[in-house]
């Protein structure tokens, strides 16, 4: 008998799609260390550099001294400690919703929410580029799954109109800022379309929170549609520099999730220090320190876009996530060249992105320096557009 996965792994290898992990021997900073060598890091979603912020590290140390490292139980048994409750209060206030609930990750927040809320007879409408955690949650829920054209409210309108007489719950899901294309959703139009049809609206702002909107409250606040968003999902794992997922909404929504979201109920609570990291990170995001980091990030985005624009790459110009789409073989060749020069930019291949749209995903942070950006640009400027 074959080893488990032998055939599948061989097939993935033959297609050049085998995945493997690298071990990092440093914090996630502007530099990252693999095997004793530093690389300029353009792979991190730690957009504001908060994963190494001194105030967060201190708060985490203090919390570990007081509460220890682990919780030893799920939230509904005895794992619900003061720091979790304090975090949720802070998160709800920050996101401008009556209530918020902390999950162990953004993945489990999406899967838990969608499976709790939806079932047979319901319909869920996803933007075609929604993240795997949203697709998985929608599929696991048993609801009818419809996918509208990326960032196209008219396509959403057609799908919703077609199901006009459906008695089940209707839920529209999009992301605020898309993780692979770096473009923002037309949130106002999507929200208006959903509401015209009486559908609920869920926005996953994993990549927008901390970076967009007044005080970093995210894309839904930037677009002025926060009131129309019934379910607001964020992760603490990106601009907030820690770990965990959050769902914010009405008190009833959160009470429903506490009772029915299986990924919340049947999972050990996050360590209290992780909740404290989240609370401290939100405080920084709202402060002038956070604002200064957003300004630096914006300057870095401007510096890259203006130089890439001259080469006519197919890039989004809206955010800190900058895709550079290239032919697959060329992508692999260039990836090796960047690595040789001490620059780490992840090459994103199918199936994470559709075939034919393989790309570098340049991820900028507030911590990159001008010389980091010049080093990256010097390699990109040597590239032929293919």
User: Contact, 211 vs 45, CB < 8 A?
Assistant: no
Give the H or E element holding residue 140.
Answer: helix 132-141
CB-nearer residue toward ligand PLP: 33 or 352: 352
User: Contact, 205 vs 220, CB < 8 A?
Assistant: yes
DSSP 277-326: HHHHHHHHHHSHHHHHHHHHHHHHHHHHHHHHHHTT-----SSSEEEEE-
Collect contacts of 20-27 with beta carbons under 8 A, ≥24 apart.
27/51, 27/52
What the block records as the tokens of 216 is 């970093």
Among 53, 84, 97, 131, the one annotated catalytic: 131
Minimum CB distance to ligand PLP, residue 129 (Å):
9
Minimum CB distance to ligand PLP, residue 185 (Å):
11
Q: Which listed range, 25-33, 91-99, 200-208, 272-280, lies at the site for ligand PLP (CB under 6 A)?
A: 200-208
Subset of 146-175 contacting ligand PLP (CB under 6 A): 175
CB-nearer residue toward ligand PLP: 243 or 377: 243
CB-nearer residue toward ligand PLP: 110 or 219: 110
User: Contact, 137 vs 111, CB < 8 A?
Assistant: yes
Minimum CB distance to ligand PLP, residue 113 (Å):
11
Q: Which listed range, 163-171, 203-211, 275-283, 371-379, lies at the site for ligand PLP (CB under 6 A)?
A: 203-211
Pick from 53, 80, 65: nearest CA to 278: 53
**CA distances to 3, 58, 76, 119 from 80, in Å:** 41, 22, 7, 28
Q: Does 204 bind ligand PLP (CB under 6 A)?
A: yes
CB-nearer residue toward ligand PLP: 197 or 350: 350
CB-nearer residue toward ligand PLP: 148 or 380: 148
Subset of 93-112 contacting ligand PLP (CB under 6 A): 105-107, 110
Distance CA 367, CA 85 (A): 31
Q: Does 131 bind ligand PLP (CB under 6 A)?
A: yes
Binding mask 174-193 for ligand PLP (x = CB under 6 A): -x---x--------------
The residues carrying an active-site annotation are 45, 131, 175, 179, 204, 207, 238
């Amino acid at each position: 008998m074959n080893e488990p996965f032998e055939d599948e792994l061989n097939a993935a290898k033959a297609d050049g799609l085998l995945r493997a992990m690298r071990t990092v021997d440093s914090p996630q900073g502007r530099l990252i260390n693999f095997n004793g060598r530093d690389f300029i890091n353009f792979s991190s979603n730690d957009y504001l550099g908060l994963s190494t912020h001194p105030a967060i590290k201190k708060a985490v140390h203090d919390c570990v001294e007081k509460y220890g490292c682990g919780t030893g139980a799920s939230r509904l048994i005895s794992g619900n400690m003061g720091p979790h409750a304090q975090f949720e209060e802070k998160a709800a206030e920050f996101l401008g919703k009556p209530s918020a609930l902390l999950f162990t990750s953004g993945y489990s927040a999406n899967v838990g929410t969608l499976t709790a809320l939806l079932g047979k007879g319901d319909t869920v409408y996803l933007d075609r580029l929604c993240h795997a955690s949203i697709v998985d949650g929608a599929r696991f829920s048993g609801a009818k799954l419809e996918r509208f054209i990326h960032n196209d409210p008219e396509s959403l309108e057609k799908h919703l109109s077609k199901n006009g007489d459906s008695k089940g719950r209707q839920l529209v899901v999009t992301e605020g800022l898309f993780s692979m294309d770096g473009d923002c959703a037309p949130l106002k139009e999507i929200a208006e379309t959903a509401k015209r049809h009486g559908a609920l609206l869920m926005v996953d702002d994993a990549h927008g929170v901390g970076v967009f909107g007044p005080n970093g409250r995210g894309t839904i606040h930037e677009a002025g549609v926060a009131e129309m968003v019934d379910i607001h999902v964020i992760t603490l794992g990106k601009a907030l520099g820690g770990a965990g997922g959050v769902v914010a909404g009405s008190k009833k929504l959160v009470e429903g999730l506490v009772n029915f979201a299986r990924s919340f109920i049947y999972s050990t609570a996050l360590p209290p220090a992780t909740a404290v990291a989240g609370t401290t990170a939100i405080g920084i995001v709202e402060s002038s320190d956070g604002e200064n980091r957003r300004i630096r990030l914006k300057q870095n985005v401007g510096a890259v876009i203006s130089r890439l624009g001259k080469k006519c790459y197919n890039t989004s110009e809206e955010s800190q996530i900058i895709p550079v789409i290239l032919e697959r073989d060329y992508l692999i060749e260039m990836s090796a060249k960047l690595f040789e020069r001490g620059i780490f930019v992840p090459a994103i291949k199918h199936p994470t992105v559709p075939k034919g749209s393989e790309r570098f995903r340049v991820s900028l942070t507030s911590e990159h320096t001008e010389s980091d950006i010049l080093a990256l640009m010097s390699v990109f400027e040597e590239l032929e557009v293919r």
